[in-house]
Structure 1
């Protein structure tokens, strides 16, 4: 039973100092205080990709992003999603002085390799912070890139 302890110990039964600090920093940086959907360039946005017999369906969570700030492209068998966020939250008092002013800027890009797609029939929509893309499958053939309009 002694070998099943969930952390490493040295010969005297105490946790090593390095292990203590490693665990402390791992817990701190894996906390929800640093969400994975930040727009700081270090993290991405959540994407679900589902394959059916006749199509792929992609759902990308882009909270706080406006439809006009999303660019979607399919070229050389890569689906690329670009998103920019530019938010300013202001709270002023009665004298028009700032009580609080916060800004959030960022840009994200993710690409996915998806072949055997009929690029002339790709469809995309954006509603309530979720980008939904339908990529119909085709018989192997030509690869033409094109910009995809979002409605």
Structure 2
């Protein structure tokens, strides 16, 4: 049987210089600048948790238009660091955006909150009358 490495893993030891190069490669074309989300659904609502650590609440925009929910965030570099001699710099700055198709929600009852680096969005589904049919009386 042939040994196979999962995408995103490397054959160098963790202390090797090249390990960072392979870990930072996008898996199957995914952008390394995307934030991670969990999307759940039940009978009444959709729940979305998006990891946005280090982003200020005022720099996050959540919009719903044409049945697409779009989450945008911007993380700016706060200090001028000219002359700093970085040995390693892993924190990133810039804009990120993701959109998700979400149909039949009640926009007026949406709940959006941001706490401890996690953006939580609750989108109630539109309430549709549950009709099992109607039997009419004949007069």
Q: Into which bin does the TM-score normalised by the smaller protein fall?
A: 0.5 to 0.7
Q: Aligned runs of 1:38-53 on 2, under 5 Å?
A: 42-53=32-43
User: For 1:65-100, what per-residue CA distance to the aligned partner results, in whole angstroms no more than 9, with x for missing partners?
Assistant: 000000000111100000000133679xxxxx9676
- In structure 1, stretches of 5+ residues that fail to align are 8-22, 92-96, 141-151
Q: For 1:79, which of 53, 57, 69 is the aligned residue?
A: 69
1:129 matched to which residue of 2? 117
Aligned residues: 109
**1:113 counterpart residue number:** 101
Which deviations, in whole Å up to 9, do the C-alpha atoms of 1:112-151 show, x marking residues without a partner? Answer: 00101001111100001000000000047xxxxxxxxxxx
Q: Is the 8 A contact 2:25 2:32 kept in 1?
A: no
Matching residue of 1:64? 54
Aligned twin of 2:3: 6
| 1:42 Cα deviation from its structure 2 partner | 4.3
In 2: Cα distance, 1:119 partner to 1:87 partner: 34
Tell me the TM-score normalized by structure 2.
0.65
Report the aligned-residue RMSD: 3.1
Q: Secondary structure at the match of 1:87?
A: coil
